[in-house]
């Protein structure tokens, strides 16, 4: 049995792993590379394997860095089965269509006008099969898999693969963490704690650092809102459409319903986020007990006074006609595109206004430049002086920090030595984060750890 690393190794994006057994190849995630230009160019390269040889694709969740290359996989010959949870499947079409629009826009800037691959997206959707949490699915005579709650976004999964190859008496368990959330994340259930594994492939986005306490997030937002309103300013919040926007709405619902912030218009100016929020409403059975309790009491957590969803372009433009103070939540979360850049162009140069980051800002993004203190930036061909206040709330991350990652892994180290992982592969993180977590795992748990590179192949004996 072999494990191939084709993405998400010593970088955050492009998750793509293949588990190879004597009966075939099983892919875990097929994500887009995102970030700097040289990283994103990997999306246009041929796959370093034959997609036609892949029998199954298991998708951990609906973020593009985990499923964004599925249309390309089909275009290059994949004709197998794709398994994911029901929310992930429902999110997938919206995420993939939005991705295609972004790709088209970037290509058009270079004078290239590619055809939107709607046909491949349709084929992806036809190949999806729903996996329920905690129910074992037999893929073939050697492999069965089980999807567990990951607590990262709605429907996100840790995937357990149990393999008993022909001629082998002992079964091996390989656990793919996907992206792990933090216990206590609003709306979501906590990550499932797995008791034992032979091998673990785990993420390390925040493997070398700790988050701000989650309880401080709401207080910080409350303070920032009050200060911006007192100045008569505009509060801009760049936000990921999936999960972060819904978390923000959950917290704003509490702040508004309990009169903790002054009444002011709150706009969700992201068509994708608006459509994804509707899918959240349809899948409330995946919510945690607190969110379900609020809903049962009659609280519509995604609908409260002064909240406005601006779906059309005209509705978005009309935000400009609403006098300050006002709050605008818009994508993209790293200011790489989307409607947020129109608001940044209009409002960043005014010191009365505030730009509040609630998401990780990857290297090479416009958001990272602003976050690191740039005095001026270029947006849509125009130079913009940055005079607005720049604030950051770290506790909103949907990724576990080092402590959360270690807590999750600890449940696999409490068993007797024969059931502890033989090796942990630390992936899905910038190099410093992955190496930092690897060192922590070695020192605290005494486990064998490897930080693979793209292209590495390891034998799982």
Rounded CA separation 181/244 (Å):
12
pLDDT band with cut points at 50, 70 and 90 for residue 441: very high
- 269 and 294 fall within a common domain: yes
Cα-to-chain-centroid distance, residue 345: 26
What sign has the CA pseudo-torsion 365, 366, 368, 373? positive
- 65 and 134 fall within a common domain: yes
Coil, strand or helix at 260: coil
The predicted model scores a pTM of: 0.92
Cα-to-chain-centroid distance, residue 125: 20
pLDDT at 113 over 60: no
Query: What is the residue whose two structure tokens read 């002992």?
Result: 170
- 271 and 338 fall within a common domain: yes
Rounded CA separation 266/276 (Å):
18
Q: What percent of the chain is modeled with pLDDT above 90?
A: 85
- 386 and 417 fall within a common domain: no
Rounded CA separation 380/34 (Å):
20
In the listed set 352, 377, 392, which residue is the last one of a domain according to the structure? 392
pLDDT of residue 343: 98
- For residue range 306-330, what is the model confidence (pLDDT) as tens digits? 999 999 999 999 999 999 999 999 9
Rounded CA separation 64/263 (Å):
35
Is the preceding peptide bond at 325 cis, omega within 30 degrees of 0?
yes
pLDDT of residue 248: 96
Tokens of 69: 């290359």
Coil, strand or helix at 199: strand
Tokens of 30: 């097929």
Domain count along the chain: 2
- 121 and 260 fall within a common domain: no
- Domain of residue 346 covers 214-392
In the listed set 366, 392, 418, which residue is the last one of a domain according to the structure? 392
Average pLDDT, integer, range 93-108: 82
- 237 and 277 fall within a common domain: yes
Coil, strand or helix at 39: helix
- For residue range 257-298, what is the model confidence (pLDDT) as tens digits? 999 999 999 999 999 999 999 999 999 999 999 999 999 999
CATH number at residue 404: 3.60.15.10
Tokens of 80: 């197998």
- 428 and 347 fall within a common domain: no
pLDDT at 211 over 90: no
pLDDT of residue 155: 99
- 379 and 423 fall within a common domain: no
- 108 and 132 fall within a common domain: yes
In the listed set 392, 411, 442, which residue is the last one of a domain according to the structure? 392
Rounded CA separation 346/17 (Å):
42
pLDDT band with cut points at 50, 70 and 90 for residue 119: confident
CATH number at residue 259: 3.40.50.10890
pLDDT of residue 212: 77
Buried b (16+ CB within 10 A) or exposed e, 94-117: bbbbbbbebbbeeeeeeeeeeeeb
pLDDT band with cut points at 50, 70 and 90 for residue 417: low
- 244 and 374 fall within a common domain: yes
Average pLDDT, integer, range 47-59: 98
Q: What percent of the chain is modeled with pLDDT above 70?
A: 96
- 375 and 404 fall within a common domain: no
- What is the average pLDDT score of the chain? 94
- 167 and 226 fall within a common domain: no
Coil, strand or helix at 183: coil
């Amino acid at each position: 049995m072999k494990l191939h690393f084709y993405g998400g190794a010593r970088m955050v994006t492009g998750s793509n792993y293949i588990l190879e057994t004597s009966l075939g190849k099983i892919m875990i995630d097929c994500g887009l590379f995102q970030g700097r230009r040289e990283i994103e160019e990997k999306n246009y390269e041929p796959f370093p394997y034959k997609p036609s040889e892949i029998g199954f694709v298991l998708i951990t969740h609906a973020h593009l860095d985990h499923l964004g290359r599925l249309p390309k996989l089909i275009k290059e010959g994949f004709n197998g089965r794709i398994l994911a949870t029901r929310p992930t499947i429902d999110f997938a079409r919206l995420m993939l269509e939005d991705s295609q629009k972004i790709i088209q826009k970037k290509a058009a800037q270079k004078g290239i006008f590619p055809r939107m691959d709607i046909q491949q997206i349709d084929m992806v959707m036809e190949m999806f099969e729903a996996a329920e949490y905690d129910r074992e699915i037999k893929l073939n005579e050697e492999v069965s898999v089980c999807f567990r709650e990951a607590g990262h976004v709605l429907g996100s999964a840790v995937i357990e693969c149990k393999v008993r190859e022909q001629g082998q008496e002992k079964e091996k368990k390989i656990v793919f963490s996907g992206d792990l959330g933090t216990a206590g994340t609003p709306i979501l259930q906590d990550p499932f704690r797995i008791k034992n594994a032979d091998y673990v492939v785990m993420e390390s986005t925040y493997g070398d650092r700790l988050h701000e306490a989650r309880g401080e997030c709401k207080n910080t937002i409350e303070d920032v809102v009050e200060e911006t309103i007192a100045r008569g300013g505009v509060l801009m919040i760049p936000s990921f459409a999936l999960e972060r926007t819904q978390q923000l709405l959950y917290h704003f619902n509490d702040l508004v319903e309990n009169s903790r912030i002054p009444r002011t218009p709150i706009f969700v100016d992201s068509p994708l986020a608006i459509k994804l929020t509707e899918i959240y409403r349809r899948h409330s059975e995946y919510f945690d007990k607190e969110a379900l309790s609020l809903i049962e009491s009659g609280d519509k957590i995604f609908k409260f006074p002064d909240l406005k969803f601006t779906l059309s372009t005209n509705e978005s433009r009309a935000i400009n006609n609403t006098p300050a103070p006002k709050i605008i939540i818009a994508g993209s979360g790293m200011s790489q595109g989307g409607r947020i850049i129109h608001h940044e162009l209009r409002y960043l140069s005014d010191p009365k206004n505030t730009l509040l980051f609630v998401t990780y800002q990857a290297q090479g993004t416009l958001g990272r430049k602003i976050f690191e203190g740039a005095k001026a930036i270029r947006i849509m061909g125009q130079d913009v002086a940055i005079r607005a206040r720049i604030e950051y709330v770290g506790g909103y991350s949907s990724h576990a920090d080092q402590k959360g990652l270690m807590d999750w892994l600890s449940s696999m180290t409490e068993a007797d030595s024969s059931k502890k992982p033989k090796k942990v592969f630390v992936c899905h993180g910038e190099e410093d984060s992955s190496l930092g977590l690897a060192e922590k795992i070695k020192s605290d748990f005494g486990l064998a750890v490897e930080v693979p590179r793209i292209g590495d192949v390891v034998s799982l004996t």
